[in-house]
Structure 1
């Protein structure tokens, strides 16, 4: 899918989150040690976290690499909410790994979400989710607070799923 992103602030989750959007900035512990970090980083990159959080993932590549398009589905395929997105950047450092994706046309939201796993110098494995978004579809706008609540629920499920997947 070569469609353009639905927002202009590409890479905006790397620094200060842009104004005019709702923000998510979570940082949660997952475990301790290099094995937990490696397990979490692999599960994140291979879309396993998303699947374990209850989403169906149809991606153009097996791992979250720049340019890979993923259609995330919440609910049943025929009756679910489709959320197309494209990976806009990756992080691949010895003690930090992850990626961010941006929304494509058809996504109920407009914005970007980043997922980063980090091994701290003290040996703690931490997971951060940073996002900026606003409702894009009529359904999301009509849902108002319910749509925002669904986003919070999905973020909670990401954290829980990756915490379980980080166990060596």
Structure 2
């Protein structure tokens, strides 16, 4: 049996390595987030709310690609810990606006500090320049763009 020739195939494939690395980061991340009462999905929601300075519940569900039932459960978890606050939108009383509380911002900062230590552990074999390049390349791959990577180290 002969194998079919494959033209223009790269020598190495990255998918399995990316999956393995992501799994290592995820497992370590869950370990450091648990004492803070957070799960990765909580962290993502808090980050989105911080970056957007609040959001409607519906827009947050769309950003997080979650259905209405699941976003309500997620927000209930965060609201029970006083990490987010929901209020009626002044423009449309049928909608809820979700905002990060001061306690939420503080917990998010603690989580990000803990996660930085996870990245240092998992990516410890890479130099700062290599980490910046990896970050840039991952952003580029995610965006599907041919844009040139620019990092702070390029300056």
- Structure showing greater Rg: 2
TM-score by length of 2: 0.30
Between the two structures, name the one with larger relative contact order (CA 8 Å, sep ≥ 6). Answer: 1
Higher helix share: 2
Higher strand share: 1
